[in-house]
Structure 1
Amino acid sequence: MSSWYEEVSVKTEPILKQIKEHVFIKELMAGTLPKEVFNFYINQDTIYLAEYKKVLAQIGIKCSDDNDIQFFLDSATGIINVENALHQHFLKEEITTDEASITCELYISYLSRMAHTKPLEEGLAAVLPCFTIYKQVGDYILENQSNKENNPYQDWIDTYGGEEFANSVQSAIDITNKFAASASPETIDKMNEAFEKASKLEWMFWDSAYIKEAWKI
């Protein structure tokens, strides 16, 4: 019998495929992505993660199992310790902004709403694509790139293609599957909807970075 995550992954495979085929990912893998585009992305990702870690902490608070609570609180702390260091590495001499792009604002607002106002199962499904898609993109790049020695973005690539991140992703999947196993059909539908919407927002985040999305007014 397949798990909830396996089933929803099949349904959302076209979204993942489009992410892998996006010009941002292709140029990142080739090492030809313009520096100003990557810097825009890292800057927006810093803004996103500042809120995402709060969302993960809220998800942890809503859990009842001590191990589940600890995982999400550790994940929130891990963002502070690991992600921020990576961003400082790439942005240490760059001019940055504290203003979220349109897509970044949409994504963090959506996740915050799911974590604070919806049942735990839906919140878990909404935060999961940020784990799984980054793992899949990292693996995809590592498997297909031929320039690991001279890619200026290799540190970023290695972060999401490493074993430590893989273990964290699997834990997030296992916890979500556990809740899905006892969920009603109606809840499963809501979980599927949340996972699909967050996956689409992941694509939109890459796309908004590539065009250096700006507010129109």
Structure 2
Amino acid sequence: MNAPDESTQRWSLRMWNEIESVYSAILTHPFSSGLTDGTLDPQVFAHYVAQDVHYLRDYARALAVVGAKAPTLADTAMFSRHAADVFEVELSLHEVLLPELGLDPAGLARVPVAPTTRAYTSYLLATVYSGSFADGLAAVLPCYWIYARMGQELIARGSSEARYQRWIDSYGGEEFAATVAQVVELADRTGPTLTPQQDAEARAHFLTTSRYEWMFFDAAHRLEQWPV
């Protein structure tokens, strides 16, 4: 059977096919393997969680902007709910993890935003504010989708470390998968409405933020700090 050409493929699948190598690199990164075999340095995980709190605060803002540009009121409401979920669900998970990792939630503002975190969030916010709805949607989608796929993969492996298992469970569960499916479905409604140039620009944003996802895990693994 012949593979479907680009004109018949779902837009989301076309984008995902372009980042398969990036996703594979995330799964094989020592950060990911360390989560499941329990060998990840707790200091590395603490660095990741602290940076993720900084990241999610700007990601919630990005979702709100994408929602404001959404084509229907239902789509706007969906992104509004997701932005609220970042605060209510993911940051509440961090409130549990931070004390376990020796981090003070109240003092998190004193933890510097690392270079990769700053670069990633700056790119996201610039894209959603200055770009089209499709640009913003493509830019925020990798964070949804990569974490869901990663969670499903890692939950099958499990972890010997309770803190890491809690993190894996939060992204590998059915509820988060259902949330991501809503956004993927919206992407598939959006793709066919784009001109070739708009399509190329949006897909470039999807690839860029997917690369930033790998960089975010790698930066945590390196305990990245500002060099000067």
**TM bucket normalised to smaller:** over 0.9
Measure how far apart 1:203 and its partner are: 0.2
1:10 corresponds to: 17
2:69 corresponds to: 62
Measure how far apart 1:151 and its partner are: 3.7
Partners of 1:18 and 1:31 lie apart in 2 by 19
Counterpart residue type for residue 103 of structure 2: E
Match of 1:5, SS state, is: helix
Partners of 1:39 and 1:112 lie apart in 2 by 25
Number of aligned positions between the proteins:
215
Counterpart residue type for residue 55 of structure 1: A
Partners of 1:152 and 1:87 lie apart in 2 by 11
Partners of 2:132 and 2:15 lie apart in 1 by 18
1:27 corresponds to: 34
* Residue correspondence of structure 1 range 13-162 to structure 2 within 5 A: 13-92=20-99, 93-95=102-104, 96=108, 97-145=110-158, 147=159, 150-162=161-173
Partners of 2:225 and 2:9 lie apart in 1 by 42
Measure how far apart 1:60 and its partner are: 0.5
> TM (normalized to structure 1)?
0.95
Measure how far apart 1:98 and its partner are: 3.7
Q: After alignment, is 36-45 or 151-160 more displaced?
A: 151-160
Structure 1 residue runs of 5 or longer lacking an equivalent are none
Instruction: Output one character per residue of 1:112-157: Cα deviation in whole Å (capped at 9) or x when no partner.
Output: 0010001111110000000000001111111233x46x54311110
**Are 1:173 and 2:184 counterparts?**
yes
Identity %: 32
CA contact under 8 A between 1:129 and 1:198: conserved in structure 2? yes
CA RMSD of aligned residues (A): 1.2
Match of 2:197, SS state, is: helix
Q: Which runs of 4+ in 1 moved over 4 A?
A: none
Partners of 2:126 and 2:176 lie apart in 1 by 26
Partners of 1:181 and 1:99 lie apart in 2 by 41
Counterpart residue type for residue 193 of structure 1: A
2:227 corresponds to: 216
> TM (normalized to structure 2)?
0.91
Structure 2 residue runs of 5 or longer lacking an equivalent are 1-7
Partners of 2:36 and 2:67 lie apart in 1 by 34
Partners of 2:52 and 2:163 lie apart in 1 by 18
Counterpart residue type for residue 156 of structure 2: E
1:163 to 162, 167, 174: 174
CA contact under 8 A between 1:30 and 1:151: conserved in structure 2? no
Match of 1:152, SS state, is: helix
CA contact under 8 A between 1:31 and 1:152: conserved in structure 2? no
Partners of 2:77 and 2:193 lie apart in 1 by 22
